[in-house]
Structure 1
Amino acid sequence: MLRYTLMRLGIFVGCLVVVWGLVYSGLAPRGLGASNGMWVVLLALVISAPISFVVLRKERDRASARIVQRVDRVKAGLEANRSQEDQVDDSARAQGQTAEQDRVPEQSQAGGQSKAPAQGQSS
């Protein structure tokens, strides 16, 4: 990605030098009033964009392929974390159900008698 960016910047700087030379030699218009610097930069930008689009096509495709690979790795890592979290959650729930089932037989061994007073009885 850095290589593509530097190549694009190089094309822009080359166009900037050429446009600056053309403007100061009088072959290109100088702009209006004090806008000469801005005119040179904008004209260089407009010229360098289509040149970069055509010349750097292969490098842009390589950079985008690297970006897609990184995104796929991040997605795979997130999916692995999500599945690991699901496994931990499932095992915790299974342990909770086992502990709950262990408590139920203890209550039935006490003879089914409840320690709480029956409703409607007063002391």
Structure 2
Amino acid sequence: MTGAPIGMKYEHDSPEYETDPHGDRILFNSHMRRAEPRNPDRYTAKLRRRSYSYSLGINTFGMLDMGLIFMSYQKNLQSGFIDTQKRLNGEPLERYIKPFGGSYYFVLPGVKRDEYLGQPLFSEVV
């Protein structure tokens, strides 16, 4: 399994929604289309994300203990992660997943030459 959109070869290939305007190939209620509908207005809230699979073997109840750790970076938490999660509410995949735990971490912007860590933030205060 490559993680590629249906009909494509690689994970990062475009799903080409424009060639599937009626949702025949990639359904409108699919996780992929709900998470990133490729609406031009939506591109104002890009997020970088990555999931990591894990498996801890069999738990004490004899069930497989496995899942995904999801991480993302975005400029605006509300228009990035939170709004994306709202679009995913009610998707068919919810029958198979049970989210638990989570936290938010805020990361300072990168450092340019001749700057110190967090300088743009402190410059705005003055």
Specify if TM > 0.5: no
Task: Determine which structure has the larger strand proportion and give its number.
Answer: 2
TM-score interval (norm. to shorter): under 0.3
**TM-score of the superposition, structure 2-length normalised?**
0.19
Task: Determine which structure has the larger helix proportion and give its number.
Answer: 1
Relative contact order, CA 8 A, sep 6+: which one is greater? 1
